[in-house]
Amino acid sequence: MTDDFTLYHNPRCSKSRAALDLLQARGITPRVVRYLDAPPDADTLRDLLRRLGIAPRALLRTGEAEYRDLGLDDPALDDAAIVAAMAAHPRLIERPILVRGERAVVGRPTERLLDLLP
């Protein structure tokens, strides 16, 4: 069953692999987007953020070198600047993200994915 599930996935990330395993164990085969290989553009990111119901800064991975190098800890940066940075540097995007219809969740912890499952 795919049932309109999309997983933004990084196969090198243990949390992302755990998310895919959880879905597959429940008979769900999501459309997998390897977002480091095919980065979402700014419009796609804004749509994901709307579905997640969070601000762009909440989707940032603050431990990545790009976060420090780009000065993304500057509170004066607006949402557009944060989205542009994530579009240009997809490693900054928190993962995994599961999308179903008009809703989405970040799978940290992995159990949060259960919120979208039938």
Interior/surface letters 108-118, b for 16+ CB within 10 angstroms, e for the rest: eebeebeebee
- Please say whether the beta carbons of 106 and 59 come within 8 A: yes
> Active-site residue among 13, 32, 42, 54?
13
- Please say whether the beta carbons of 93 and 59 come within 8 A: yes
Q: Is 19 a catalytic residue?
A: no
Would you name the residues annotated as active-site residues?
Answer: 13
